[in-house]
Structure 1
Amino acid sequence: MKISKSQQNLKNISFENVSLNDFLSLENNMNLPISLFTNSNCLNTLNKIIFFDTDFKNVELKAIESLNVLESIHILYCINLNSDFIQQIISFTKPFKLKSLFMKTKIQIRLLESLLQKSCDYLENIGFKLSMYKSGQLEPIINQCTKIRYFELRRTNNQMSFPALNLIKNFGKTLNYLSIEFCRYSHVSSNDIRLTSSNIFLKLGEILPSRLEYLSLSLMINPRDFNTFLFKIRNIIIKKLLIENLMKEGDLMPYIKEHVMKEKRVRYLAINGGVSENDIKEF
């Protein structure tokens, strides 16, 4: 904290892996080190705040409104984004310029709706576990956000695969980075993972924008579905393509060689497993 206060012309600040209440004794019983934002070193220079894996329990955010040139706030995998936290944001007289929201835990749907209504003009990056919510809950809320560039989707299931695809479709031409990750958990059956992955692959190629900077897929990939997917995206330019096959069977390389390497539509390619030294040289 003393280091932050001593900085001149501070432009960016990041809180990582902390409970903000840990700073109580350093801030004369104020709830949060964000009170340092009222310091003259920050008022007219600080333009970016990043919260990563931060605990917002009993946090007072009002000092953020004192910042005159703040351009973006990024909330990444934080906890206790509860009613008290979001009500403070709603009460701001200035815009709450939330640029990134990656959810580690579920935010109640009414609170999430209020938060996005306050921030939808600024939000560009969003990620969450789709299995946190029921089908039909998220689409009307997130579709308010018309500037989404980065979408990270984790732990979906077969019931939620079509709502997920609808979100991707509705993000339209603004979408530039897409990550779909299906980590395997003991309470999810292999059949559900396979079916979800298949549904995503069969439809995803029809709704992607014409150009992507980044596409990362970690799914149970059936080679036949993968071949169909690559054929459907044959006219899409992808700068970075990352593939992880959670199904430890089936060879994807023949289809990658045919549709990706031969056509040279991907600049950077990363594949987890099943790649030989000759394959790398060929690429």
Structure 2
Amino acid sequence: MFTDSHCHLTFPELSADMPGLRAAMAQAQVTRALCVSTTMEEFPQVHALAKAYDNFWATVGVHPDNEDVLEPTEDDLVDAAALERVVAIGETGLDYYQMEERKGGRSITDMEWQRERFRTHIRAAQRTRLPLVIHTRAASEDTLAILREEGEGAGASGAGGVFHCFTETREVAKAALDMGFYISLSGIVTFKSAKELHEVARMVPDDRLLIETDSPYLAPVPFRGKTNSPAYVPYVAAHLAQLRGTSVDHIAAQTSANFTSLFPKVVS
């Protein structure tokens, strides 16, 4: 019924009890999950999960915020993307959040390594014809600009993809949608303080909407502050249904159909 389009099940908070996690998913009617890679070192474990369970799929990529990890070439990503049950490239993108504190006081100019990594992922996605899973935080202008420079956009022959765990403005959402991307909403949309995100949640067309947990982080209300799980994605759906004036069943069916449309390798 429900599909969690973005989670990190190899992280230790969740990997220690996979039988319990899967039982909770079944009880919550969460029938599919996309296991997302954040480093090349982690990818074999992510891929192993997707091969072990027929309702899990995998991505390959390196999170923009990860340093001192194996840097993939286009060929590295293309080769991994050819493996069974790998359905997307990412997560990738840009993250300039709190550069002063988290990046040793570096400037945006100093973040060129992130931009080059992002371009490598985009080019690999275009070569493989697999969609991108995009992370952008405090970097939306550069994220959109690089996508355009690399040939992404509505009517272009780009890879397309999804802006996951969307937390940006209505204007950024509109730009992403105009370029043909999907928007995925996480437990943040259940937070009372996320007023602008509530407006984004109302504006995304039915056929471009996805839901996710980004677990083990960002648990939705009423679990905020606790370890997140794919079993909690129905709470995201319920809040979206309330915001959009529709039923939970509709959100579940539409977002699951959108998941299959965006990731066609899922059905192969």
Q: Where on the TM-score scale, by shorter chain, does this alignment land: which range? A: 0.3 to 0.5
Q: Which one has more relative contact order, counting CA pairs under 8 Å at least 6 apart?
A: 2
Superposition TM-score, scaled by structure 1 size: 0.38
**Larger Rg over CA atoms:** 1
Superposition TM-score, scaled by structure 2 size: 0.39
Q: Which has the higher helix share?
A: 2
